[in-house]
C-alpha cells in the first residue's frame, strides 16, 4: 500500500509539473540579440560558454556548490570500512576499457579547449573523465573509493574555490563576475580547467563511493 501511494504521488507530481511546463508562456525577451552584441566582451567566441561563465556565472557557481553538497551528503552516510576488491570482468572487456580510456581522456581535453568557440566546456569534459573512471571500475580495473584523503578532497573543491577566488578578485570591477576584456579569455580558461578536474572527481565519486556497498560491483 505504501509503495502504491508513493508511485501515485510521484505520477501526480510528474503530471502536474508537465502540465505547468506546457502552459508556460513564451519568453517576452529574446536574449540571443544582446548576447551576440556583447560576445566580444565575454572573452570567448561561443555564446553558450559566454552565458554559462559570464552572463550567467552565478548559476554555474551554484551548480558546482549543489554537486559538492550532494557529494558531502554521500560522504556523511557511507561507512569508513575499506571497500571490497572489484570483480574482474572478462579479459577482453578489460582490454577494451584500457584501449578506450586514453581516447576518452583526449576527447575530454579537446572538449575543454573547444568550449571557447564551439559546444563543449568543463561540464562535458568532466563528465567524460568521470565516465572513464566508471568504465574502469565496471571492468574491475579501478576499485571503489574508500573515505577520500586530503588530495582527493582538494580535487573535489578546487573548481569551486578557483571560481570563487576569481569572482572575489573581480569585485573591484564593480560586479562579482565582470571579467576585464583583456583577461576574460584567460580567466575563463583557468576556471574551466579547475572545474573540469573537480567535476570529473565529483561525478566519479558519486558512483565510486556508493558502489563500495555493492561488493565492488
Express each pLDDT in 72-112 by its tens digit: 888 887 766 666 677 788 889 999 999 999 999 999 999 88
The answer to whether the CB of 35 falls within 8 A of the CB of 46 is no
The chain-wide mean pLDDT, for the chain, equals 81
Tell the residue number behind the cell numbers 561525478, with chain if given. Answer: 203
DSSP secondary-structure letter at 116?
A: T
In angstroms, the CA 196 to CA 187 distance is 14
In angstroms, the CA 153 to CA 29 distance is 42
In angstroms, the CA 11 to CA 104 distance is 37
pTM of the model: 0.74
- Which residues lie below 8 Å from residue 149, measured CB to CB, with a gap of 6+? none
- Residue 54 above 70 pLDDT? no
Amino acid at each position: 500500500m505504501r509503495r502504491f501511494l508513493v508511485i501515485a504521488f510521484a505520477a501526480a507530481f510528474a503530471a502536474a509539473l508537465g502540465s505547468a511546463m506546457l502552459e508556460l508562456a513564451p519568453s517576452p525577451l529574446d536574449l540571443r540579440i544582446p548576447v551576440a552584441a556583447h560576445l566580444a566582451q565575454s572573452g570567448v567566441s561561443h555564446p553558450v560558454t559566454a552565458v554559462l561563465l559570464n552572463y550567467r556565472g552565478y548559476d554555474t557557481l551554484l551548480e558546482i556548490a549543489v554537486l559538492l553538497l550532494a557529494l558531502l551528503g554521500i560522504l556523511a552516510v557511507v561507512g569508513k570500512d575499506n571497500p571490497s576488491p572489484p570483480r574482474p570482468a572478462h579479459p577482453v572487456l578489460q582490454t577494451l576499457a584500457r584501449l578506450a580510456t586514453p581516447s576518452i581522456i583526449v576527447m575530454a581535453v579537446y572538449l575543454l579547449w573547444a568550449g571557447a568557440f564551439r559546444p563543449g566546456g568543463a561540464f562535458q569534459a568532466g563528465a567524460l573523465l568521470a565516465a572513464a573512471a566508471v568504465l574502469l571500475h565496471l571492468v574491475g580495473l579501478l576499485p571503489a573509493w574508500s573515505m577520500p584523503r586530503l588530495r582527493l578532497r582538494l580535487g573535489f573543491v578546487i573548481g569551486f574555490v578557483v571560481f570563487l577566488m576569481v569572482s572575489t578578485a573581480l569585485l573591484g570591477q564593480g560586479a562579482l563576475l565582470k571579467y576585464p576584456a583583456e583577461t576574460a579569455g584567460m580567466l575563463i580558461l583557468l576556471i574551466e580547467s579547475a572545474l573540469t578536474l573537480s567535476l570529473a572527481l565529483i561525478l566519479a565519486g558519486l558512483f565510486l563511493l556508493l558502489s563500495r556497498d555493492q561488493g565492488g560491483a
